[in-house]
Structure formats: structure tokens, C-alpha cells
Amino acid sequence: MSDDGIRAAVIGGTGYTGGETCRLLLGHPQVSEILPTSRGTESFERVHPNLLGSGLRFHDAEEIEAQARDLDVVFLCTPSGEAMRRAPALLGAGARVIDLSADFRFSDPLAYRAAHGREHTAPQLLAEAVYGVTEWHRDLLAGARLVANPGCYVITALLGLEPLLSARLAEPGAPLHIAAVNGTTGAGIKPRTETLHAEVHGSMLPYSLQGHRHAPELEDRLPGGPDGPVTVDLSTAHGPFARGIYIQASVRVREEMREEVSRSMLLDLYTERYGAGSEGEFFVRVNTETGTGGLTDKDYRRYPGLAGVTGSNFCHIGLDYDVRRGIAKVVAVTDNLVKGAAGSAVQNMNVMFGLDETAGLRGYGL
């Protein structure tokens, strides 16, 4: 990083994630230059009209690779399969790489092939890649050349479930049931009839119920403890909104611990792990609203909603406990384009370059 600031390239700058990465970098106080790429012929501001007046223009990806030695960091906002092709040359030229695709999320190339159905073409880099949950891996990120950003479903579920699993409250062998809803931006920018506004509005669009590709990533990263790895039952759908991840998880509590567990106990566990308010993990907030009313009252305020995180890098978490059935309930919400992608990538960049972790990211939800 020069005295003038960070020179950053965004390869894959036409998609939702690439555009969001550019938007966040434009507001970053230590970023001096942003070089997005495109294979098309349209102007940057035509593709991203929300960034009208930014002065950014598209470049050719090969042109960016050729000048990689002059770059500080390259964000790869590309489809899975492309990052593994580009990363070796970029790293060889001295640039740091943050991959927002799935290419470097598994340390084992066989695990990658099992999850994504293709061979890994840069397996020599897998062991080096740091998994980019900033809240978990700050020490490793500080010296990293290559960072693998988690998937949007995954980072939301990891932040939501890790304290409970690390405390060994989950019953061994019981699957983790996760129902997850993503905004339609999660389907990508390529037009499909099923994800048109006219089709999704007032409806829900389930998909990948035969086995979502993010389930193996969750099983690989969630703490299983001495009882072995966890089994994740992940059900996903697109909802009638553009941005957001809504996760609702049900975790069966160990039988011998069920009488000890309560909503209050879970809130204490999570606030101890993440801190309260701005003390602790700045971007993870636990909803500690006191419950009101009786057992069957619809007490909406004790759980987070998507609107509270839209446009922000925050993850909001809500908790409750079904005493009769011994099941802990976790609700976690993020913006899939920010904390679920571009925001966590910029947060990782901040740590990699020794900057304030919240630089360029302190905005609250819309």
C-alpha cells in the first residue's frame, strides 16, 4: 500500500457483487484508485446507474492482470471456476487477492469437487487461502495473500450458530435444520424468467432442495467438537425482495442440558461471545429486547428483521428457546451483497492492510 492509498481492481465488475464492491470502495477513505473490469461494451455508469458521477470506467481483465504488480489488492467477483484460473498470476505479480467466489473455500480439492462438481486447477493455493470470516480469523488475515470470502448463506449461518455449537449445547448426531431465504440478487444478474420481479413478487421460489452447494461449506466450517462433524439440513428459497439473507435455524439441545437452557441463558452466551452494542464485534449485534406478553403472543420485536440490515455490513441475531421440545431457535439476518459478499471482503481488506476494520463500512441499515 503506497502513501497515496490502496489501488484496487475488481475483476467481474458488471455483476451485483462487483458493483457493490465498487460502491463500498468509493466510500473508503484509504482507497485511491478503483479499476473494475467488464467483458462487455457498455459504460460503467450505464451498468451501475446508482454510481452515476463516480468517474469509474471499465477495463479489460487481461489489461488489469498485466499491471497486477502495481496493484495492492484484486477482488475476484467472478463465477466459480474463473478465480482459480486468475489467482496464480495475480499472486505471482505481488497483488493480494480476495476471492468472492467459491474457488478457495475448501482446503481439500476433493471436497471442492464434491461440492461444485469440477476439478480444482490451482490446488497448490488451497492450503494458503485464509477463510474470510473476519470475526474468526483476524490474526491469519493480517498476513494473508489470498482470502476466500464465505458464501452469503454461510457467513450468516456461521455467525448465528457458532456460539451455540462451541458451547456444546447441540445434541450429538442431530442434524442442524436451517431454513434460509435469499433476495433475488442472490440468483445473479443473468436474466431468468423465474427470478423476474413479476414472477417473484408475492411469491417464494424454493431451489436446490436436493442438496444446496453451501451445505458442505457449512459442515466444513461449523465447530463439531469431539462428537464429530455436524450434519446440516439446509433448505433455501428466493424471497420477494432484492437483497437480504434470512436464516432461521432449529438446534436440538442435549437432553441433559435442556433444563439449564432458556432464552436468557442463550442471550448471555451470545452477548459474551460478541459483546453488546458497539463493544466487541462491531458488525454482529444480538437482539436482547425483553419479551412481552404471554406464551402465544406475537412478540415481533424480540427477533431481527431484514429491513434492519439492508445496505449495511451488520449481522443481527435473535434467539429463543422452545422449552417443551428442547429446541434452541436462532434467527440471523444480513444483506447478501454487503456482509454476505462485498462488505465482508472490504472488512477483510482492512485487516490485511492494517487499517481500522470498520473503515468504509460503518453505515447502518436503511
Round to whole Å and give the CA distance between 267 and 106. Answer: 32
Cβ proximity of 339 and 313 under 8 Å: yes
Exposed, middle or buried by CB within 10 Å (0-12, 13-18, 19+), for 21? buried
Place of cell 452477548: 271
Which residue among 22, 77, 152, 315 is the active-site one? 152
Cβ proximity of 331 and 160 under 8 Å: yes
Grid cell digits, residue 229? 462433524
Cβ proximity of 143 and 162 under 8 Å: no
Secondary structure element (H or E) that encloses residue 277, with its range: none
Helix-helix angle 16-26:343-352, to 10 degrees: 50
Exposed, middle or buried by CB within 10 Å (0-12, 13-18, 19+), for 278? exposed
Round to whole Å and give the CA distance between 105 and 204. Answer: 29
- Per the annotation, the verdict on 152 as an active-site residue is yes
Round to whole Å and give the CA distance between 62 and 7. Answer: 17
Q: Parallel, antiparallel, or unpaired for β 205-207 and 232-238?
A: antiparallel
Grid cell digits, residue 286? 444480538
Taking the alpha carbons at both ends of the chain, their separation in whole angstroms is: 32
Cβ proximity of 161 and 169 under 8 Å: no
Active site residues: 152
